[in-house]
Structure 1
């Protein structure tokens, strides 16, 4: 059966602010796909090249950005915009298409493919080279680093863009944790605070806070999904509405706060501020609670550059950040956004981003690797 044509990447046309931050060196050498099986706690491995910390000279050297941008531009026509593994992998059943991830039913497992789609305001705007790989590998790095806080649902990692996970009954609550008064969406802390709200999701807020100010302590502001947007909710409402039991909520909220505090420490060690993020959890067939979905990725989290934050805050300036591109930017800015994703990956993990080693179509590579992985799990 012939595959439907993959969507070509759209272009965007709004100007990005340029970053002065240095870019790390990278290698084009890619190891062959590895299938990593997990027991109780996943053990996510990286290649020996990725495990070696970047030397200091690489952290302060811009010479490789031009080389990387060339690789990005040459890959724009090979973005992973759509997947159709249900047509190419016999073990897979139904497909759910999310904003970025395509999730397939693999029987006892979920096969989650992170694509290169870029979305904002619930719209798909473009396809960004290597974005899916960055998000998948960033999550895997954090899943590995946070096993001492919570088990996660990862079972196998057969491809740079794919995670196979155990099925869980997902709690219908997103655990949003914030360390700063910031944001511009309807549910962001600064938006509601600026409107005069002084109790948000069960948290009391003092008068006199200003935008981008650090909170005296981190704050949990859970939300629940409505038809097309997030709805803030208090802990009492979560239990009263039967979304979670009190015991489950207490345990998950404790883990969410611990994950965020750990993430802040690691990010700061690498020159970044983890400003806010969201977590999702589910309960497995064994009754155990697992961390699911993604962790501390550029899509689920807000990061600022640490060294300039205090001075800019005192001068009333917005913090330096690595924002998503806005709609309608030319091809050069799509490439710039791809670089920003990779920059964050290398900054967070202090390791080199490995470019795919061949020009094989991404969908073909993923189909082969997923099929082999599912066969090995049977």
Structure 2
């Protein structure tokens, strides 16, 4: 099983530079190709909407760094296909529940989405049903107010919270917003979002409550189905933005990925009932990486970022660490979707063939 490590050099017809993130690369299509595909494929987008091809890689990011393993393994086999399959499943469930659509218009290949350009709101939309991770670390330090929410005394690590908590953080650095430090990834309250909704790129103050409703409802859809599969949906991050529909109206939609092992914590329910936490998400790799590092503080201390980057660049992990992640991702994807994961043996060649034959967007 091959990995797709490099995804920013495909011969897709575009007039803009390729945007390459930690895991995905985005190719903005020409106006002519966008208009043609909207018409030919009957996408639920305005005829003037901009479309892109989003190609997911198998690269593995953790602690804001990329990781590789022995034997030239520059990614996790099956990871990209697993993330796409899981997100696609949940977006379908959201649509069936009457929540909102996503920016995904089509999935022509297991590693590829056709997406509509959306205008993102500048928050990471986070929901938590259990106290763990950064919330637990803050609570353990004595903090009791989190994103404007007062937490009760005597909570214990990994405990289920009485209510689902909406705990957003900033997406990027916000400037000139009272009570919001000018650094990335700052926790903010719903009240701050309502007061400064324009700064966070909401189109109205009421949309602050609308996003929270879509987040909570989406969480509940996933949690209920995950529970039936013997898993616990612990916490998650969604992203939202505005996209123009067929009628030219901006809609608040789901963006990026949802309910995946990359964006969520998922625990084994049987183990949790017995007082143990068994991760079925990227958190398992994070914990393994902390145990592997001679000085784990490098990975969690943001004041040591230069050392962290140097450690990641100079480290070749044991191959088994990557294969453990592969097993986790493929297993949870097949449980959620109820079918074998479609993993390409020659991903790059298959992607080019599909985009040429089905969408006609490969450069001549």
Q: TM-score, normalised by structure 1?
A: 0.72
Kindly report which structure 2 residues correspond to 1:1-378, keeping only aligned pairs within 5 A, or say none: 75=1, 78-85=2-9, 88-91=11-14, 93-107=16-30, 108-126=50-68, 127-147=75-95, 148=97, 149-183=99-133, 188-226=134-172, 229-241=184-196, 242-243=199-200, 244=202, 245-285=204-244, 286-312=249-275, 318-322=276-280, 323-324=284-285, 325-326=288-289, 328-356=316-344, 359-360=345-346, 362-375=347-360
In structure 2, the gaps of 5 or more residues are 31-49, 69-74, 174-182, 293-315
Name the stretch that deviates more: 238-247 or 325-334: 325-334
Rounded Cα–Cα distance in structure 1 between residues aligned with 2:156 and 2:19? 41
Rounded Cα–Cα distance in structure 2 between residues aligned with 1:146 and 1:350? 17
Q: Where in structure 1 do 4 or more consecutive aligned residues deviate above 3 Å?
A: 226-229, 371-376
The structure-2 alpha-carbon separation of the partners of 1:84 and 1:332, relative to structure 1 and needing over 3 Å to count, comes to same
The structure-2 alpha-carbon separation of the partners of 1:177 and 1:109, relative to structure 1 and needing over 3 Å to count, comes to same
Aligned-residue offset at 1:98: 1.1
Instruction: Identify the structure with the greater helix proportion.
Output: 2
**Is the CA contact (8 Å cut-off) linking 2:7 and 2:24 kept in structure 1?**
no
**Is the CA contact (8 Å cut-off) linking 1:91 and 1:371 kept in structure 2?**
no
Aligned-residue offset at 1:355: 3.4
Rounded Cα–Cα distance in structure 2 between residues aligned with 1:354 and 1:168? 28
For residues 154-173 of structure 1, give each alpha carbon's deviation from its aligned partner in whole angstroms, at most 9, with x where no partner exists: 11111110111111111111
For residues 286-343 of structure 1, give each alpha carbon's deviation from its aligned partner in whole angstroms, at most 9, with x where no partner exists: 311111100101100100000121221xxxxx41113125275312332222111101
For residues 50-86 of structure 1, give each alpha carbon's deviation from its aligned partner in whole angstroms, at most 9, with x where no partner exists: xxxxxxxxxxxxxxxxxxxxxxxxx2xx31111234x
Rounded Cα–Cα distance in structure 1 between residues aligned with 2:79 and 2:145? 37
CA RMSD of aligned residues (A): 1.8
Aligned-residue offset at 1:372: 4.1
Q: TM-score, normalised by structure 2?
A: 0.75
The structure-2 alpha-carbon separation of the partners of 1:171 and 1:134, relative to structure 1 and needing over 3 Å to count, comes to same
Rounded Cα–Cα distance in structure 2 between residues aligned with 1:368 and 1:229? 40
Q: What is the number of residues matched between the two proteins? A: 287
